[in-house]
Amino acid sequence: MPPPSSKHRTNSLAFAKTDCHTCSANQRRCDRKRPRCSSCLGKNIVCGGYPMQLTWSEKKQPQPRAVNFLEQIDDPFHLEPLSLQASIHVKDRNARYRAHKPRNFRFVTEEVGGRKHPSTGSSEACRKEKHFFSGAIQESVPIQKCNISVDRTTEQGIPGIPLLAPLQVVDHASSPTFATDRNDVLDPLAMLFLTDPSSDLRDYEALLNELDSNHNTMAMSDVNENAVVEHRLTPTFNDPQQNLTPLGSPILHKSLIEKFETLLNLYDQDFCIVPLSGDVPSNPFRYQLDNSSGSQSLLHAILAVSCYHAGRQTSNGDYPSSDVINHQNTAVKLYHEELNSFTGPPGVQILDTTMVLFLYNATQCAFSNWTARISEAGKILNLFGGAQSLVNSPRIQAQIVMLLWWDATIALLSRQGCVLSYSYFEAVLALEDNRNWSFFDLIGCPRELVVPLMQLASLAEENEKVSSMRWARFDLTPIDEIQAFIISWENPSPIIDDEISEEQMQRQRDRWNCTEAWRYGLLIYITRVFRWDRKTNPPLRLALYARLVLEHVNSCRRTAIVQKQAFLPLFFASCETKDQFSRQSVREYCQYWGGVCGYDLFRSAAALLEDVWREQDGVGGRAAWWGSVVDEKQRPYLDHEEPMQFCFG
């Protein structure tokens, strides 16, 4: 390596007299600037520091004793905290650098003057230093050509650990722990500079000089070249691979579908069945998501529902409410963007998103702006081609049934009419196919009772308008016909046959009781809404109908999902009962199914029932009924662009 240029300064305070170890090892020009040379800093590598003139005393202890850490501080390796790789290239002031073959180095003593004996104060400081360092070292263990490995994670800035590593005497030419890459320099001083860039080498020189003056020295000849002192930061092992810990790498997913595969499987197998009476081939809430053309709004809507249900079932915090809200907000934003730019076929996934968002809203609150959501679905259906578009898709037919059902049950409670055209209902009536779907499988009510229910939902609006007029009177002829049909209709009794399984027999019985509950629930609705004069006492038959509904609902197995489908007739019946035992059974029903299904309608209905019972038990309670309480809740929102209503369907 050519000698440094004349412009290099040799002031020992700011510039070193020789090149740094790193530049010397790599045969690179060094500006010798303390504490770290600019050449190394410019290349973003660790500077190994500069060699120092080393002197030591030849005085020996009168009696041989065990080597300890404080005696080894006078050792040259401890005076300059260099890495082992850098120490290969340390040279004497008068020696020249050997560029090719690594050599074994041995320090040789030279004549030096005597040192001052440590004072009493220094001895006290020595004892303190010894106490400080005593916890950081272990006993000396002589071994043969061991491999030394330094853990970087434990070497940086840990209090109570000495900055100077113990003596490590190794055969440098043959040790496999040395790397040839200049970036592999492991240096305690360099590591300290990484953690504290403001450190100055002069502070270390002062510290080393103080330690050197306070402790006895030892002769280098007393140390065997193969002996090492084991340090707990530099564990010794024979196999360099045995203590390696694999680092976890980030998991990369090709798409959101792959990332949330577990949640999507839960939705496909469980969550999409919860709103129905059971799984059907044309499940209106089950979707096949495609990586290439799948709707992102639909995906996030499904994830919102899945995160909500999965979070209820687990308590380990894997699905926090923030994830549910984030997916829901993303789904709504993307859905509105798609809705504003939607002009019709191809594709029906925007209707799928409408269904899932309605499902998600039902889990959060039973009192919402439901008519706005149904109106959006109606616009989408019209762009598809209206009722004629339902012919070739059983799944779209099932979706229309659910939309009609929600629309009708909202209209029954609000008595404000349906949003969707009655032509859609007439179309799906002709398309019902038990192989793909049926009314009972979807909504828990047979088609024989769905028809009068849809008619009552439309007639209730007209009756409310007429009741507010002074000279008008509502014609009860269609109501008489509907009531006569409901009473005379024969519900097929379950088959008693030894050839069928017990589970099949139980299902038939549950279905029969659920249907009977709907029969008497509709009779309660007709009596309260159409036949009762609101200025007189309610008819006594209401109590009988209510008793029959409660009996049929309680006759369904609690484990059968069809019991949940009889909730609306149970609500009408509960508003007519004064028996505390019956009221308590209704509270338990709402609590149970609210916990199983996770839908807010059970909690909202229970709170609404408490308001109805409170008014009925008060002064003038005979005039109180569920309609007056519902109207009171909805009245503040009637003038809004999107009025709020209850959905118990």
Radius of gyration for the alpha carbons in the chain, expressed in angstroms and rounded: 43
Q: Which helix (H) or strand (E) holds 236?
A: strand 236-237
Residue 293's pLDDT band (cuts 50, 70, 90): low
Q: How far is CA 468 from the centre of its chain?
A: 53
Highest mean pLDDT among 42-46, 316-320, 515-519 belongs to 515-519
Report whether pLDDT(153) > 80: no
Contacts of residue 256, Cβ cutoff 8 Å, sequence gap at least 6 = 296, 299, 303
**Picking from 100-104, 112-116, 162-166, 574-578, which range would have the lowest pLDDT averaged per residue?**
162-166
pLDDT tens string 48-106:
888 876 666 665 555 555 444 444 444 444 444 444 444 444 444 444 444 445 555 55
Strand-pair partners of 141: 228
pLDDT tens string 504-561:
999 999 999 999 999 999 999 999 999 998 888 899 999 999 999 999 999 999 999 9
Report whether pLDDT(200) > 60: no
Average of per-residue pLDDT across 28-57: 80
d(CA 454, CA 522): 11
Average of per-residue pLDDT across 142-146: 39
Beta carbons of 585 and 550 less than 8 angstroms apart? yes
Report whether pLDDT(565) > 80: yes
d(CA 424, CA 404): 8
Question: pTM for the full model?
Answer: 0.62
Helix (H, G, I), strand (E, B) or coil at 439: helix
Q: What is the DSSP letter of 5?
A: P
DSSP string, 355-389: HHHHHHHHHH-SEE-HHHHHHHHHHHHHHHTGGGG
Report whether pLDDT(345) > 70: no
Q: In Å, what is the CA distance from 604 to each residue of 366, 608, 646? A: 6, 6, 9
Number of Cβ within 10 Å of residue 340's Cβ equals: 7
Tokens of 523: 């009779």
Alpha-carbon dihedral sign for residues 466, 467, 471, 475: positive
Predicted local distance difference test score (pLDDT) of residue 40: 86
d(CA 444, CA 511): 8
d(CA 591, CA 447): 29
Strand-pair partners of 148: 236
Tokens of 293: 């053309």
Residue 593's pLDDT band (cuts 50, 70, 90): very high
What beta strand segments (E) does 579-632 contain?
none
Contacts of residue 589, Cβ cutoff 8 Å, sequence gap at least 6 = 553, 570
DSSP string, 266-278: HIIIIITTTTSSS
d(CA 129, CA 179): 34
Report whether pLDDT(564) > 70: yes
